[in-house]
Structure 1
Amino acid sequence: MSDTPTPLPENPAPDPWLGLRRYTAARIALGRTGTSVPLRELLAFRLAHAHARDAVYSLLETERLLGELEEFKLPIYHVRSQAENRSQYLQRPDLGRTLHEDSSRALQDSAPASSDVALVLADGLSATALNQHALPLLRLLVPRLQQASFQLAPLTVAEQARVALSDEIGVALHAQLVLILIGERPGLSSPDSLGAYFTYGPRPGLTDDARNCVSNIRPEGLSYPAAAEKLFLLIQESLRRQLSGVKLKDETGLLE
């Protein structure tokens, strides 16, 4: 047996997945060095992981957000869940689903008699997503809802919030339907993905089968115009049929 190493081919076959990288941010066609991925891909993975961790601990830019929301000429409430801080929020998901007593009392004391749609903006698992994408989306969605003569409840900004917190907010605001824009769980290629969940007939205790979701709202995912159009059509249909969740299918045909 010869001790001479086998030379590597001068022109190795191209990775058959390489052409697909233009269509997705998923980690495909990374190549390899021996039995490992190339150093540049390993470093890129570690950077993406750091971005995801940063997004989980990111803070809502509350003052800026509250100021910018004034352009919609709607009352604005600022509430928080029972989770006292980020650490408790991550360890106790149940506390993020229930309003703090002070916030609950404030909503009930000044809520309108009735409304069609309540809009909630929540940090969720990525305040970065809400900071970056909520206002551009609302600037397209709110006018559509108003032009359709839907009565909008006051806007609500919620901190340390889970999706189900919107049910309690919807009840307090006497809303037929509640829509919450919330930062989604960060992925290794999407630390700033915004999700939109809406529920007809909100009330505490509902499970996810009662909701509809439009996810990955961001320039690299579902564009603002496409998301606003899809949400408007789904909300319109939800109010017309008086239901949401698994009984309401997305028949808009809209992709991006």
Structure 2
Amino acid sequence: MTSPAPASHPLANLRELTPARVGLGRSGASLPTEALLSFTLDHARARDAVHAAFDVAGIVVGLAGLGFAPIEVSSQARSRRDYLRRPDLGRMLDPASMRSLEAKGIGPCSCAIVIGDGLSPTAVNVHAVELLRRLLPRLAADGIDVGAPIIASGARVALGDEIGAVIGARMLVMLIGERPGLSAPDSLGAYLTFAPRIGLTDAERNCVSNIHGAGLSYAEAAFRVSWLVREGLARQITGVALKDESGGGSFPNTLPGCDKSAT
């Protein structure tokens, strides 16, 4: 009598559906060499993403191609070392940047865009301009005026609150590099805050996260962000009070108060 062919291992099927490390096997008491080398490489990529240089010049050129002359500001974090050890410094504008924003006399706008390096400058260097290329036409189609983009170095998410308050933005969208993971060192997040001001918490923001090559596409992210901007302005809310009712239920990762990034 012929025995039935053995069923495929369930963990093998699971590995086809997720980049998570499952069913790696073992060699004695340790991981197999291939799994260990893969982990070491991904860990190195994540560390490199955190310490990568913020390509402000490249982003300026990219924004110029979209017809914008961005404004550059900095937080009070003077170095990457300060940024990582003192998160509070990344949430406050450097005094010279504050004076510069005030001196420019930027008028109030419906939606301000801030591009910050966050915990993965790599993500911002690669994805920020391309996301805006899809997002800006959607905002324009909804009649939402966007001010000059602001590029913020040494930025945590909450830095956008102070920037938005200074320029009088009704809605602020901050594009920022998320904390690198072992499967996504270049993930971009978009944080939306209505009536930004100092002292807000993450419960008062919406987040569209995991924007990268193997995650949320630019088109999907632009759809989500534009919907949240439009509805947030209309209802005068963001955060836990604003649920995603865009109808794009198959698009993941649009959670109020998302905490993957540099808050």
Normalising by the smaller structure, the TM-score range is: over 0.9
Amino acid of the structure 2 residue aligned with 1:245: G
1:82 Cα offset (Å): 0.2
Query: Is the Cα–Cα contact under 8 Å of residues 198 and 211 in structure 1 kept in the other structure?
Result: yes
Among residues 229, 233, 244, which one is paired with 2:223 in the alignment?
229
Distance 1:74 1:132 in 2: 18
Aligned to 1:193: 187
Among residues 200, 211, 219, which one is paired with 1:217 in the alignment?
211
Aligned to 1:150: 144
Aligned to 1:243: 237
More displaced stretch, 84-93 vs 57-66: 57-66
TM-score by length of 1: 0.92
Distance 1:247 1:60 in 2: 34
Aligned to 2:72: 78
1:157 Cα offset (Å): 0.5
Residue correspondences, number: 246
Distance 1:69 1:108 in 2: 22
Amino acid of the structure 1 residue aligned with 2:225: L
Q: How is 1:111-122 mapped onto 2 (pairs within 5 angstroms)?
A: 111-122=105-116
Distance 1:136 1:22 in 2: 29
Distance 1:24 1:253 in 2: 25
Distance 1:161 1:111 in 2: 22
Q: CA RMSD in A?
A: 1.5
Aligned to 1:98: 92
Q: Which runs of 5+ in 2 are unaligned?
A: 252-263
TM-score by length of 2: 0.90
Query: Is the Cα–Cα contact under 8 Å of residues 228 and 244 in structure 2 kept in the other structure?
Result: yes
Distance 1:135 1:170 in 2: 20
Residues 63-121 of structure 1, C-alpha deviation per residue, up to 9 Å, x if partnerless? 11111101222331011100000000000000000010111111111133210000011
Amino acid of the structure 2 residue aligned with 1:235: V
4+ aligned runs moved over 6 Å, structure 1:
none
Identity in percent: 49
Q: Which has the larger radius of gyration?
A: 1
Q: Which runs of 5+ in 1 are unaligned?
A: 1-10
1:31 Cα offset (Å): 2.0
1:127 Cα offset (Å): 0.1
Query: Is the Cα–Cα contact under 8 Å of residues 111 and 174 in structure 1 kept in the other structure?
Result: no
Amino acid of the structure 2 residue aligned with 1:232: S
Distance 2:207 2:127 in 1: 16
1:172 Cα offset (Å): 1.6
1:22 Cα offset (Å): 2.0
Q: How is 1:160-175 mapped onto 2 (pairs within 5 angstroms)?
A: 160-175=154-169
